[in-house]
Amino acid sequence: MEAPSEPFLSRPVAPAKPAPEEPGSHARDMLTVGGVTKRFGGFTALNQVSFEVREGEILGLIGPNGSGKTTLFNCVSGALPPTAGSIRLRGEEIGGLTPDRICHRGIARTFQIPRPFRKLTILDNVAVAAHFGTNQPNTEAQARARAREMLELVGLPTDPLAATTLLGAGGLKKLELARALATGPTLLLADESLGGLDPSEMHDAAEMLKRIRRDLGITIVWVEHIMATLMRVVDRIVVLDHGEKIAEGPPLEIAEHPQVIEAYLGEKIVLA
C-alpha cells in the first residue's frame, strides 16, 4: 500500500490518557470549545468562540459564507493552530496538536472539497485511512476489511478495482465520509456533506448521518447550508456570523431567532 502524504494519515501514536474533569466541562461534553480565536494576519476569522458538543448528539454548525465554520473545523482537527483559546476532547486539551494526533484521539473530519487520492481505487482510499488513521495497529488485510464495511455503510462499491475517478459529486462526498469513518472516530466533523447532491441523495445522506450516530455511536458536528434538511436531523444548532457565535439552541428556536434570520436565514424556515 502506498504511503499517504496527508499528515492525518501518518503512523499511529500512543492512545490518549483520560484527563481529569476540568472546570467548565461536563461529563456529557465530548468537545469543549472555549474562547477560540483564529487570526490570519490582521483578519480575525474566529473571535472568542465557545460552545460544547454533547456526547451522542448531532450538532449543526451554520452561518453565512465566510463566517468561520471550516476554519473552526480546521482548528479542532489540527489543520490550523488556534491563535487563542482552548479545545478539549473529553476534558483533555487538544488545541494546537498535529492532525495525526487529533485523528488518533478520535476526531475525524470530512473536507468541504473532497480530497481523495485519485490514483488509488475507491477501496484503497478508504483502506489507507483505516490503516494509518487509527491508533489500533492493524494489518493491510484488516484495514481492507474495515474499508469494505465502511463502503457498504455509505453505499459505495467494495469491488477492489472500482476507480475513484468514476465517482461524481455525490460519490465523492460518500467517499469522504467512508474515509473519515474508517479511522474509527468518536467525533465526526462533517463539512457540507450535501453540496452537489440532488434532493433524494440529500435525504439519503441526512438519514445516513442519523444511522452513523445510532449504529456506530459517533457524535457529529455537521456544517450544512441546506437548512430544511439540517434542521430535521440535528439536536442543537450553533450559529456563526463574521467569526462570532451569535446564537445556540434547538432548531425551532434558531429558526425563529431574529439575529439569525437577519444574518443568515433571510426568512423563517418552515419545518415540515
Ligand X SMILES: Nc1ncnc2c1ncn2[C@@H]1O[C@H](COP(=O)(O)OP(=O)(O)OP(=O)(O)O)[C@@H](O)[C@H]1O
Residues lying near ligand X in the complex (CB under 6 A) are found at 40, 45, 63, 65-71, 112
Q: Nearest 10 degrees: CA dihedral of 6, 108, 197, 252?
A: -150
Q: Which residue, judged by CB position, is nearest to Mg ion in the bound state?
A: 70
DSSP string, 27-73: TTEEEEEEEEEEEETTEEEEEEEEEEEETT-EEEEE-STTSSHHHHH
Q: Which is nearer to Mg ion, 68 or 184 (CB)?
A: 68
Residue 251 makes CB contacts below 8 A (sequence gap 6+) with: 60, 231, 232, 234, 236, 237, 271
Q: Which is nearer to ligand X, 69 or 131 (CB)?
A: 69
Contact 244, 49 (CB under 8 A): yes
Min separation Cβ 205 and Mg ion, Å: 17
By C-alpha distance, which of 104, 174, 144 is closest to 1? 144
Q: Which stretch binds Mg ion (CB under 5 A): 19-27, 107-115, 199-207, 246-254?
A: 107-115
40 binds, among ligand X, Mg ion, none (CB under 5 to 8 A by kind): ligand X
Q: Which is nearer to Mg ion, 69 or 213 (CB)?
A: 69
45 binds, among ligand X, Mg ion, none (CB under 5 to 8 A by kind): ligand X
By C-alpha distance, which of 125, 112, 199 is closest to 160? 125
Which residues 198-217 are close enough to bind Mg ion by CB under 5 A?
A: none
Q: Which is nearer to ligand X, 61 or 154 (CB)?
A: 61
Q: Which is nearer to Mg ion, 19 or 113 (CB)?
A: 113
68 binds, among Mg ion, ligand X, none (CB under 5 to 8 A by kind): ligand X
81 binds, among Mg ion, ligand X, none (CB under 5 to 8 A by kind): none
Residue 22, SS3? coil
Q: Which is nearer to ligand X, 76 or 177 (CB)?
A: 76
Contact 112, 192 (CB under 8 A): yes
Min separation Cβ 61 and ligand X, Å: 9
Site string for Mg ion, 109-128 (x = CB under 5 A): ---x----------------
Min separation Cβ 43 and ligand X, Å: 6
Name residue, grid cell 476534558.
91
Min separation Cβ 83 and ligand X, Å: 12
Contact 264, 239 (CB under 8 A): yes
Q: Which is nearer to ligand X, 73 or 132 (CB)?
A: 73
Q: Which amino acid is at 119?
A: K
| Residue 70 in contact with Mg ion, rule: CB under 5 A | yes
Residue 237 forms beta bridges with which residues?
Answer: 60, 249
CA atoms within 13 A on the CB side of 150: 27
Q: Which residues bind Mg ion (CB under 5 A)?
A: 69-70, 112
